[in-house]
Amino acid sequence: MKTITYILLLLSVSASAQNKPAALKPAVPVADSAIKDSAVNSTNVKADTAIKSKRSLHEVVISAGSFEASDRAKGASLTPIDAVTVAGSNGDISQALRSLPGAQQIGETEGLFVRGGTGEETRQFIDGTLVKTPNYPSVPGVPQYARINPFLFKGILFSSGGYSALYGEAMSSALILESVDLPEKTSASFFLFPSNMGTGFQHLSKNNRSSYGANLNYSNQSLYNSIVPQKPDYFSGPAYFNGNVNFRVRTGKTGMLKFYSNWGYSDVGMRNPDIDSAVLKAGYQAKGWNSYSNLSFRSYLNDNWKIDLAAAFSYNKEETNRDLSDPKGNMLKIPFIPYSYKTGQRTVRTDFAQLRAVVTHLFPQGQALRFGAEHFYTNDRGRSNDSALILADHLTAVFAEGDFYLTDNLAAKTGLRMEYSSALSKMVLAPRISLAYRLQDGSQFNLAYGVFYQQPGNDFLYQPNKLTFSNATHYILNYTRRANNRFFRAELYYKQYRDLVKTVPELSNNGKGYAQGIELFWRDKKSVKNLDYWITYTYLDTKRNFLDYPYQLRPSFAAPHTTTVAVKKFFQEINTSVNVSWAMAAGRPYYHISNNSIADQGNTNAYNMLNLHVAYLCSFFKNRKWKDFSGVAMGINNITGTRQVFGYNYSYNGLFKSPITLPATRNFFVGIFMSFGIDRTDDFLNNNL
C-alpha cells in the first residue's frame, strides 16, 4: 500500500536522475515493458507502436483535456513514474494526480475532484475496464487508501475533460490506465515500515514470453496511532490487508494476454465526540471485502486490424456500523431525532462485471477507425437497518471513433457513443470531437467538445425513482509547447452540467450547474541539473444545484485558486533522493443547509500542505547473481503543521460546528525496503542481439 509506493517513488526519482537506471526498479512491475515490447522482435515493435510510428509522419497529436503519462514519454513529457511519485500521494494514483492542474485539494476523503465535479464523477479504467471501487470503503473525514498499486501502470491518461468515445460513465473526468506487460526480470522484494509491510515477487520465464507474480501487503496503523495521537479514537484498526496475483503471456507475434486479480480486506473503527451532546461518543466502523479481476487480450490480426478484448469482475462488500456510547462505554439507542439517525447498520454486496471489445482498423498515414461495444452488469443486495437495498442494472454501450488527418498539421478525432441503461430504461447518445493544430514552432492548439453521461449513484437507485442520466457538456481550448526538456500547457474550458441528481424536495434530475476556468502547467527538467520540478495553477469558477442545495451554490469541494509545486532532486554523491510537494488552495465554501435554506455559511482557511520524502539508496549484498537495491526511506507530510480545515460538521440545531481537519497534524514514516533481482541482462542480450 502506501509504503510500497514510497519505496518505488524514491527509487524512481533517483532513476530519473541518471543515465543508467538499468537494474533499478524492484519487483513490483513498473513501467518497464518497453524492453520486451521492442527488442524481442521487430514485429512486436510494430504491435505496440504501429499507430504512433505511422503517425510520426505528422507530429500533431490530439491532446485537449488530457495529461498523458506514458512509458514512451520524451523530454519533459510525464512518465507514469513522474506522475505517481509525488510526495504525499499515499500510494494512491488519484491523490498523486492532485498535483496536476484541474484537480482540487480535497483532504477529507479519497477520490479525484476535477473541475467542479465530485469524486464520484471521476472514474478509473484499467485496460478498458471500470474499477468501481478503487479505494477501501470510505470513512467520514479520513481518506482511505487505494487498493491498486499505482506502479502497475505503464500508461496513465488523466483526462480532465473531453475524453474519447471509447469511455463513458464519467461526467467530469476519466483516468484511463494501461497496465504493464512483461516484467524486465525475475525479482523479489519486501519492505518493512512500522505500520506497513509487504512482500512480493515476479517471475519471468526463460524465453521471456510469459511471467507471473504475486504480492501481499499488510498495514496496521494501531501502533503508529499509539505513538502519534490521532483525533478520532480508533477502536479497531485501521487495518488493511491486500494481495494480488498476475500472469502475462505473449501470444503469437503481437498478442498479449494479461490477468490481474486483487483482493483485499479492511477494517476501520473509530469514535468521535458526538456533536449534538456534551458527553456522548459517536462510533463509526467500516469493514470491506473486495476483489477486482481483469483479463485482457490485445493483438494485431494483420497489418491493418487490431483487437482489444477485456473482461472484468469485481465483488465488493461493505459493512458499516454507527453507534452511540456514553462515557462508560455503554452502547445507547436513543429513539428520537437527531440521535436515532446515529445508530444503525448497513451492508451492501455488489457484483459487477464488464465485457468489452474494441476493433481498430488502421489506415495509411496514421488514420484509424475504432469501434466496439461494452456491457456492464451491476447487482447490489443489501440492508440498511431494516430496509432492503436491491439493484440490478445492465448498461450497454456501443461506440465508434475515427482519427483523421485533415492536413499535415491538423488532426481530428471524432466519436459517438450510445448507452442504454436497463435500470433507468433510457438511451443516450454522446458525441465527442477534438481537433489539434500544430504550429511551425512545434507548439500546438487543441480544441475539444463532448457530452458525457453518467448514471446516478447506486444509492439513489435503490428506491423507486424516475431518474435519468446526468450529463455534462465540455468545451476545451488548450495550448501546449514542449522544447528543451521543458513543457508548458495552458487550458481554458467551460462545462455545463445538466440533470444532476437532487434529493430535496424530492428525488429528481432537476439539478444543474456550470464550471469554467483556466489551468496552467510548467515543467522544467533542464535549468538545474538533476532537478525536476513542475508548477501548476488552477482557476475554477463553478456553481451547481444538486442533492440538498436550495439553489445554485459554489460547491463545498471547489476552491477558486489552487497552486501546486512538485520538486524532485537526486543527490548523486550521497545516493539520496529528495522529493518535495507543496499545494496551496484558497478556502472552500461550507454551508449548513437546513429546511431547504442556508442557515449558516462561510469559507474555510486557505489550504497549505508541504510534504517531504527522502530516501537513501544502497546495496547490502554485492553478490553478482542477486543484486539488491535497498534503502531507507522517511518522510513527513504537512511539515509546517498548518491546521488544515476542509469544512465543518454542524450540530442538528445548527448552533455548534466542528471543523473537519486532518486526523493528526503531521504524518511521519520511516522504514527500509529491499529488492532482489536476478540480473538476466546477459540472457536477454544473448537472445536478442
Partner 1 sequence: MKKLLITLSVALLSYSGFAQSNALQQAVSKLDQAQTVTDLEQLEKTFTGISAQPAWLSSYYAALCNAKIGFLLQDDGEKIEPYSNRGEEQAKRAIATLDSAKQHKELAEAYTVLSMIYRTKVFINPMTYGRKYGMLSDQVLKQARALDAQNPRALYVAAWVKYATPKMWGGDKQQAKQLATQSLQQLGTPGTDVYPHWGKAEDQALLSKIK
Which among 77, 74, 84, 73 has a CA at the least distance from the CA of 25? 84
Q: How many CB atoms lie within 10 A of CB 181?
A: 24
DSSP H/E element including 13: helix 2-16
Nearer to partner 1 by C-beta: 326 or 408? 408
Nearer to partner 1 by C-beta: 74 or 328? 74
Considering only residues 665 through 684, tell me which ones interact with partner 1, judged by CB under 8 A: 681, 684
Select from 66-74, 114-122, 215-223, 246-254 the region that touches partner 1 (CB under 8 A).
Answer: 66-74
Please tell me whether residue 382 adopts helix, strand or coil conformation. Answer: strand
Total site size for partner 1, rule CB under 8 A = 49
Considering the complex, what minimum distance in angstroms separates the CB of residue 8 from partner 1? 12
State residue 358 phi and psi, 5-degree precision: -130, 130
Q: Check binding of 18 to partner 1 (CB under 8 A).
A: yes
Considering the complex, what minimum distance in angstroms separates the CB of residue 152 from partner 1? 16
Torsion of CA 453, 458, 463, 468, to 10 degrees: 0
Residues 6+ apart with CB under 8 A from 68: 77, 78, 155, 156, 157, 158
Q: Check binding of 19 to partner 1 (CB under 8 A).
A: yes
Instruction: Please pick, from the candidates 43, 251, 463, 484, the single residue that binds partner 1 as defined by CB under 8 A.
Output: 484
Considering the complex, what minimum distance in angstroms separates the CB of residue 576 from partner 1? 10
Q: Check binding of 497 to partner 1 (CB under 8 A).
A: no
Select from 225-233, 477-485, 500-508, 598-606 the region that touches partner 1 (CB under 8 A).
Answer: 477-485
DSSP 553: B
Strands lying side by side in the sheet with 129-131 = 66-70, 153-159, 173-179, 122-126, 129-131
Instruction: Please pick, from the candidates 4, 7, 15, 553, the single residue that binds partner 1 as defined by CB under 8 A.
Output: 15
Considering only residues 169 through 228, tell me which ones interact with partner 1, judged by CB under 8 A: 184
Nearer to partner 1 by C-beta: 25 or 123? 25
Considering the complex, what minimum distance in angstroms separates the CB of residue 375 from partner 1? 35
Nearer to partner 1 by C-beta: 34 or 357? 34
Q: How many CB atoms lie within 10 A of CB 307?
A: 15
Nearer to partner 1 by C-beta: 234 or 684? 684
Instruction: Please pick, from the candidates 570, 591, 650, 669, the single residue that binds partner 1 as defined by CB under 8 A.
Output: 570
Instruction: Please pick, from the candidates 41, 42, 43, 75, the single residue that binds partner 1 as defined by CB under 8 A.
Output: 75
DSSP H/E element including 227: helix 222-227
State residue 52 phi and psi, 5-degree precision: -65, -40
Distance, CA of 629 to CA of 189 (rounded, Å): 9
Q: Check binding of 279 to partner 1 (CB under 8 A).
A: no
Nearer to partner 1 by C-beta: 56 or 653? 56
Considering only residues 506 through 545, tell me which ones interact with partner 1, judged by CB under 8 A: 525-526
Considering the complex, what minimum distance in angstroms separates the CB of residue 14 from partner 1? 8
Which among 249, 233, 362, 234 has a CA at the least distance from the CA of 295? 249
Select from 40-48, 478-486, 584-592, 596-604 the region that touches partner 1 (CB under 8 A).
Answer: 478-486
CA angle 61, 66, 70 (to 5 degrees): 70
Considering only residues 20 through 49, tell me which ones interact with partner 1, judged by CB under 8 A: 20-25, 31-32, 34-35, 38-39
Nearer to partner 1 by C-beta: 278 or 574? 574
Distance, CA of 361 to CA of 539 (rounded, Å): 40
DSSP H/E element including 12: helix 2-16
User: Per-residue string for binding with partner 1, 440-469, x by CB under 8 A?
Assistant: --x---------------------------
Nearer to partner 1 by C-beta: 20 or 328? 20
Considering the complex, what minimum distance in angstroms separates the CB of residue 366 from partner 1? 16
Distance, CA of 216 to CA of 218 (rounded, Å): 7
Nearer to partner 1 by C-beta: 517 or 631? 631
Considering the complex, what minimum distance in angstroms separates the CB of residue 337 from partner 1? 57
Nearer to partner 1 by C-beta: 72 or 543? 72
- What region, left, alpha or beta, does residue 116 occupy, with left being phi > 0 and alpha being psi -120 to 50 degrees? left
Distance, CA of 76 to CA of 484 (rounded, Å): 8
DSSP 570: E
Select from 270-278, 460-468, 542-550, 613-621 the region that touches partner 1 (CB under 8 A).
Answer: 613-621
Distance, CA of 305 to CA of 526 (rounded, Å): 40
Select from 195-203, 313-321, 507-515, 569-577 the region that touches partner 1 (CB under 8 A).
Answer: 569-577
Which among 417, 391, 398 has a CA at the least distance from the CA of 164? 417
Tell whether the torsion through CA atoms of 108, 113, 116 and 120 is positive or negative.
negative
User: Per-residue string for binding with partner 1, 127-166, x by CB under 8 A?
Assistant: ----------------------------------------
Distance, CA of 492 to CA of 65 (rounded, Å): 9
Considering the complex, what minimum distance in angstroms separates the CB of residue 579 from partner 1? 14
Residue with cell 521543458: 486
Helix ranges, 403-513 (H): 458-461
Q: Check binding of 61 to partner 1 (CB under 8 A).
A: no
505: cis peptide before it, omega within 30°?
yes
Catalogue the E-assigned strands of 439-507: 444-454, 470-483, 486-502
User: Per-residue string for binding with partner 1, 76-115, x by CB under 8 A?
Assistant: xx-x-xx---------------------------------
Considering the complex, what minimum distance in angstroms separates the CB of residue 52 from partner 1? 11
Considering the complex, what minimum distance in angstroms separates the CB of residue 524 from partner 1? 11
DSSP result, 614-640: EEEEE-S---SSEEEEEEEEEEEESTT
Instruction: Please pick, from the candidates 272, 277, 321, 485, the single residue that binds partner 1 as defined by CB under 8 A.
Output: 485
Distance, CA of 241 to CA of 218 (rounded, Å): 5
Considering the complex, what minimum distance in angstroms separates the CB of residue 81 from partner 1? 6
Which among 440, 443, 527, 532 has a CA at the least distance from the CA of 488? 443
Binding-site ranges for partner 1 (CB under 8 A): 12, 14-25, 31-32, 34-35, 38-39, 70-77, 79, 81-82, 184, 442, 482-485, 525-526, 570, 572-573, 575, 617-619, 681, 684-685, 689
